Homo-oligomer: A and B are copies of this chain.
Amino acid sequence: VTLHDLTRMKEKRRSDRAELDRLLDEELVGTLATVTTDGRPWAVPMLHARDGDRILLHGSTGAGALRRVAEGAEAVLAVHAIDAVVLATSLFEHSANYRSAGVRGPLVRLTGDEALTALDALADVLVPGRRAEVRGNLRKEVAATTVLALDITDDSWLLKVSDGDVDEELDVVPDDVWTGILPLHRSFGDPVRSPWLPADLPVPPSVTALQAAGPQRRHRRGTNR
């Protein structure tokens, strides 16, 4: 096992769709990779929201990034989480515990009511409950947005997971070299209000709930559309 090799271990491939959904729901930002019209690789970080068997993406219309992939081009959304650093007895065996998913397929453009609904779904993923607290999207705002869908089908995705302890395959493990894992956590800090607001304006329920749930919260949309 090479140091922190995120791709090698074939036996780490997982086929449980629920595990894929969990990763996609926890990690709100992935990397969308595609091929430009002149055959070159292209990649950009992208917020995504899973709605059942469909992954929703969006970007500004005409601003460049999504224009290149909006016309049915094949894309890969790569999403990963690093859960721990794994410390072994030799440098070579050091690695990380991680989850890594790739979903491949053509991007389908959504318009009209489908686009409006998808933008609401994306908002619900970013800050659950916030839609009840602020003005919703206007038609002209939706029109200024490119909304894309990437469908999850039986054979369109790949999931790799590494969550093992260290050196499991050694016959004899040394007891004088410290080995183990160092878990990696994420959390939200305290909310910072805009400077023009009155000091007694309470933090709204959506922000309090999001902070309490933490970045790894899962949104509770169905697994079927």
Q: Which residues of A contact B (CB under 8 A)?
A: 1-8, 10, 28-29, 31, 33-35, 39-47, 58-60, 63-66, 74-76, 78, 80, 82, 85, 87-92, 94, 96, 98, 100, 102, 104, 119-120, 122-123, 126-127, 130-131, 133-138, 141, 144-145, 165-167, 173, 175-198, 201-204, 206-207, 210-211, 215
Q: Is the CB of B31 within 8 A of A35?
A: no
Q: Is the CB of A135 within 8 A of B90?
A: yes
Q: Is the CB of B29 within 8 A of A35?
A: no
A178 and B196 in contact (CB under 8 A), knowing A43-B102, A66-B7, A126-B4?
Answer: no
Write out the residue numbers on chain B whose beta carbons fall within 8 Å of the beta carbon of A127: 85, 87, 94
Q: Is the CB of A122 within 8 A of B165?
A: no
Chain A contact residues: over half helix, strand or loop, or mixed? mixed
Q: Is the CB of B78 within 8 A of A44?
A: yes
Write out the residue numbers on chain B whose beta carbons fall within 8 Å of the beta carbon of A181: 191-192
| The 4 nearest A-B residue pairs measured at CB | A7-B65, A33-B33, A33-B43, A183-B189
Among B82, B88, B165, B197, contact of A178 (Cβ-Cβ < 8 Å):
B197
A-B contact pairs, 21 of them (CB 8 A): A3-B58, A4-B47, A5-B47, A6-B45, A6-B47, A7-B66, A31-B33, A35-B40, A40-B74, A41-B41, A41-B74, A41-B76, A44-B102, A90-B136, A175-B196, A175-B201, A176-B201, A179-B193, A179-B197, A182-B207, A185-B189
Copies of chain A in the complex: 2
Q: Is the CB of A29 within 8 A of B126?
A: no
The distance from the CB of A2 to the nearest CB of chain B, in whole angstroms, is 5
Write out the residue numbers on chain B whose beta carbons fall within 8 Å of the beta carbon of A195: 165
A47 and B123 in contact (CB under 8 A), knowing A177-B133, A182-B191, A185-B187?
Answer: no
Write out the residue numbers on chain B whose beta carbons fall within 8 Å of the beta carbon of A193: 178-180
